[in-house]
């Protein structure tokens, strides 16, 4: 039995192309060694797995067989010690285990008589060298990937909505993949409106063709990659941060942060399902006039049929007949949403009035204030760091203050992003608003409920109630109100003379459809200049 051996032949995936490590080459060398030394070959074990640990399928089967058939072999042969293991600690334990089973491991190209104590020093070298090589290679890969992330390159398999590509110079990158990218953009737009249940949006996205599990969907809507940012984790003295990616973004930063605000507050607000029953098209959109919670809907069984009601919950007994509310809201929408016959004239009128009356000074001032605050908090962090360096404060105190100031800076950066995004091309904004008004009029006229629900919060920006006879709300969409006024002025001025809109700002924006206090009245009067709120 002393001359019976099993041959262990191992390659890892990345070594397959290396002829010196090929399975055929190893087998040829081991067979030749056995023939020259009169060793009987019992079995040949092939392995295609990393040597970082002994959690290898073929090796585990080999050990189980040794335990069941003790004494069947006396040797396990391999070409070099790095074929056996690349982890010195694991290797010593495995050698002891094999010896307890009566098997001696041996590398034919690096033979060692382990009964001689001094040879254990050579064994340590043979085992440590490949481990050091592995660690160095892993470190080089880590630094290379980190450098790529700092430059804004996404590394790895493309996430949902993107596809891996290679340019003509061999440089790899990710690009939006259609139609997934458009579906993801739609998901963020719907989520930002805070109208529908997140799980229902996921189901609707799947119906549109997005292949994504529920868990992956939650990771997707939290991933800043889609707004063009890549997360760089903390390492040593470098702090974690976001860097601007080189890839094309699917959504804007403003939209991403709006969705994060919605998700962070998801436990505090009821959001309806995206699929609604015909009897309750406005469920989850109206507020209870008694407790201000959002109304839900259900049916009650009468003597001969079921009756539909919008009602409150959690102890509040408020409820109203659903048919009464539905007809009143559709009547209100029909009177509120304008029919646009001459969209080019309305566009030109809005643009002309905006250009002659609107000034961006307030936005410039707001931006300046935000940048000043960010600079102040950065200076505070720097000052605290100096205090810690001179041992005037404890490191734990510095960390707490740094976390607090960093969170404030992050919030201010979000506000800055929103401010910058709002300063978009006004002509494009007005065009977009008019086109959406045309669609909205069609939806209301044909009572397309699901489409109307998506615009509801834009039409009624503040809480909306049903008083028993009419719709009550704090204010309506300013853009629609201005458009209505322009259409009325055009209809009154059929002779083609120039329309005077000098009093337009005094006609709109003073008070909403609810009684206003003197304070709220003043605020509305001050912001009465034309600044379209086209949140469609």
Same domain, 410 and 432: no
C-alpha angle with apex 259: 421 to 252, nearest 5 degrees?
35
Average pLDDT, the chain: 79
Comparing 76-90, 151-165, 185-199, 261-275, the range with the smallest average pLDDT is: 261-275
How many structural domains is the chain composed of?
4
Which span out of 17-21, 222-226, 476-480 was modeled with the highest average pLDDT? 222-226
Tokens representing residue 233 in the block: 């984790």
How does DSSP classify residue 498?
Answer: P
Predicted confidence (pLDDT) at residue 532 exceeds the cutoff of 80: no
189-201 mean pLDDT: 82
Which residues, listed in sequence order, are joined to residue 75 by a DSSP beta bridge?
5, 104
| In-domain check, residue 352 | no
Q: Is residue 429's pLDDT more than 60?
A: yes
Of 69-83, 111-125, 480-494, highest mean pLDDT = 69-83
Q: Is residue 281 part of a domain?
A: no
Residue 273 lies in a domain: no
List CB contacts of 435: < 8 A, sequence separation 6 or more: 343
- Please tell me the predicted confidence (pLDDT) of residue 521: 37
Domain boundary among 404, 422, 440: 422
In this prediction, residues 21-44 reach a mean pLDDT of: 88
CA atoms of 30 and 24, how far apart (whole Å): 10
One domain for residues 258 and 201: yes
Residue 334 pLDDT level (bands cut at 50, 70, 90): confident
| pLDDT computed for residue 176 by the predictor | 92
**Same domain as 501, residue 472:** yes
pLDDT > 90 in the chain, percent: 13
The residue from 395, 422, 449 where one domain ends is 422
How many whole angstroms from its chain centre is CA 176? 15
Question: Where residue 526 falls among pLDDT bands split at 50, 70, 90?
Answer: very low
Residue 517 lies in a domain: yes
Find the domain containing 215 and state its range: 162-264
Residue 129 counted as domain residue: yes
Q: Which residue has the tokens 């109206």?
A: 286
In this structure, the dihedral spanned by the alpha carbons of residues 289, 295, 297 and 300, taken in order and rounded to 10 degrees, is -40
Whether residues 38 and 121 fall in one domain:
yes
Q: Report the C-alpha gap between 436 and 255 in whole angstroms.
A: 18
Residue 288 has pLDDT above 80, yes or no: yes
The two three-digit tokens of residue 115, written as one number:
């009964």
> How many residues in total does the chain contain?
536
Helix axes 180-192, 214-221, angle to 10 degrees: 70
**What integer is the mean pLDDT of 377-405?**
86
Confidence of residue 130 (pLDDT cuts 50, 70, 90): confident
Place of tokens 């029919």: 339
442 and 336 fall within a common domain: yes
Question: Do 317 and 454 share a structural domain?
Answer: yes
Dihedral of alpha carbons 354, 359, 365, 371, sign: positive
d(CA 352, CA 482): 13
Looking at the structure, tell me whether residues 111 and 10 fall in a common domain: yes
Determine the average pLDDT of the residues in 421-438: 73
Q: Can you list the alpha helix ranges (DSSP code H) found in 209-300?
A: 214-221, 253-264
**Angle (nearest 5°) at CA 453 between 452 and 454:** 90
| 3-state secondary structure at position 513 | coil
DSSP string, 47-97: EES-SSSS--HHHHHHHHHHHHSTTS-SEEEESSHHHH-S-HHHHHHHHHH
Q: 236, 252, 247, 310: which is closest to 277 by C-alpha?
A: 310
* Residue 353, domain member (yes or no): no
* 141 in any annotated domain: no
Alpha helix positions (H), 302-394: 322-336, 343-357, 361-389
For CA atoms 249, 252, 258, 262, the dihedral sign is negative
User: Looking at the structure, do residues 464 and 318 belong to the same domain, yes or no?
Assistant: yes
Contact by Cβ (8 Å): 46, 92: no
What is the per-residue pLDDT for 127? 81
Judge if 454 and 414 occupy the same domain. Answer: no
Question: What's residue 161's pLDDT?
Answer: 92
Give the residues across from 235 on adjacent strands.
238
Q: Is residue 25 part of a domain?
A: yes
- Find out whether the peptide bond into 179 is cis, omega within 30 degrees of 0: yes
Closest CA to 532 of 438, 453, 432, 445: 432
In eight-state DSSP terms, residue 104 is E
pLDDT higher than threshold 50 for residue 512: no
**Percent of the chain at pLDDT above 70?**
82
Could you say which of 374, 407, 422 is where a domain stops? 422
Examine the pLDDT at 284 and tell me if it is beyond 80: no
pLDDT tier for residue 306 given thresholds of 50, 70 and 90: confident
Q: How far apart are CA 254 and CA 95, in angstroms?
A: 60
Ramachandran region, residue 272 (left: φ > 0; alpha: ψ -120 to 50; beta: rest): beta
DSSP state of 108: S
Using 50, 70 and 90 to split pLDDT, how confident is the model at 524? Answer: very low
Do 478 and 499 lie in one domain? The reply is yes
* Residue (of 281, 276, 294, 293) closest to 330 by Cα position: 281
- Of 307, 192, 303, 297, the closest CA to residue 253 belongs to 192
Return the CATH number at 231: 3.90.1750.20
Shared domain for 377 and 470, answered yes or no, is no
Examine the pLDDT at 216 and tell me if it is beyond 80.
Answer: yes
* Lowest-confidence pick of 3-17, 54-68, 334-348: 3-17
Tell whether 77 and 173 lie within a shared domain.
no
Q: Report the CATH number at residue 35.
A: 3.40.50.1390
| Predicted local confidence at residue 424, as pLDDT | 52
* Residues with Cβ within 8 Å of residue 90, at least 6 apart in sequence: 53, 54
Helix (H) or strand (E) holding 208, with range, is helix 198-208
């Amino acid at each position: 039995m002393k001359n019976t051996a099993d041959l262990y032949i191992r390659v890892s995936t990345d070594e397959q192309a290396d002829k010196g490590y090929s399975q055929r080459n190893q087998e040829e060398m081991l067979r030749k060694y056995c023939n020259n030394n009169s060793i009987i070959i019992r079995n040949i074990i092939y392995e295609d797995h990393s040597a970082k640990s002994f959690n290898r399928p073929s090796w585990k089967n080999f050990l189980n067989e040794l335990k069941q058939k003790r004494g069947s072999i006396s040797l396990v042969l391999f070409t070099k010690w790095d074929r056996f293991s690349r982890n010195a600690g694991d290797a010593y334990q495995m050698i002891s285990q094999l010896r307890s089973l009566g098997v001696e491991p041996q590398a034919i190209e690096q033979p060692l008589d382990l009964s001689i104590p001094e040879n254990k020093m050579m064994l340590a070298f043979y085992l440590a060298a490949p481990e050091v090589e592995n660690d160095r290679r892993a470190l080089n890969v880590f630094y290379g990937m980190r450098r790529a992330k700092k430059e804004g390159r996404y590394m790895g398999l493309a996430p949902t909505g993107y596809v891996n590509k290679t340019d003509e110079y061999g440089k790899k990158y990710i690009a939006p993949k259609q139609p997934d990218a458009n579906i993801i953009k739609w998901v963020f737009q719907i989520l930002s409106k805070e109208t529908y249940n997140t799980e229902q949006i996921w189901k609707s996205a799947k119906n549109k063709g997005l292949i994504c599990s529920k868990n992956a969907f939650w990771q997707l809507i939290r991933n800043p990659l889609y707004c063009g940012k890549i997360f760089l984790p903390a390492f040593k003295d470098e702090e974690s941060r976001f860097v601007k990616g080189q890839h094309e973004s699917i959504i804007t930063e403003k939209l991403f942060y709006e969705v994060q605000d919605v998700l962070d507050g998801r436990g505090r607000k009821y959001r309806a399902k995206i699929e609604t029953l015909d009897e309750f098209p406005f469920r989850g959109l109206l507020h209870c006039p008694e407790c201000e919670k959002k109304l839900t809907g259900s049916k009650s069984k009468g003597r001969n049929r079921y009756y539909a009601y919008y009602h409150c919950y959690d102890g509040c007994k408020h409820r109203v007949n659903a048919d009464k509310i539905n007809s009143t809201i559709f009547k209100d929408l029909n009177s509120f949403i304008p029919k646009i016959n001459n969209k080019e004239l309305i566009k030109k009128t809005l643009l002309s009035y905006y250009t002659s009356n609107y000034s961006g000074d307030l936005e410039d001032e707001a931006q300046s204030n935000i940048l000043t605050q960010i600079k102040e908090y950065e200076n505070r962090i720097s000052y605290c760091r100096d205090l810690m360096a001179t041992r005037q404060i404890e490191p734990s105190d510095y960390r707490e203050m740094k976390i607090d100031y960093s969170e404030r800076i992050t919030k201010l950066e979000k506000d800055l992003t929103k401010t910058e995004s709002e300063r978009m091309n006004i002509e494009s904004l007005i065009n977009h608003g008019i086109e959406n008004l045309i669609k909205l009029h069609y939806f209301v006229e044909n009572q397309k409920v699901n489409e109307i629900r998506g615009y509801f919060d834009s039409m009624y920006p503040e809480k909306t109630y049903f008083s028993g006879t009419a719709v009550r709300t704090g204010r309506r969409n300013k853009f629609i109100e201005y458009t209505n006024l322009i259409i009325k002025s055009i209809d009154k001025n059929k002779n083609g003379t120039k329309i005077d809109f000098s009093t337009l700002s005094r006609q709109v924006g003073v008070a909403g459809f609810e009684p206003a206090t003197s304070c709220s009245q003043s605020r509305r009067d001050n912001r009465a200049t034309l600044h379209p709120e086209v949140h469609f």
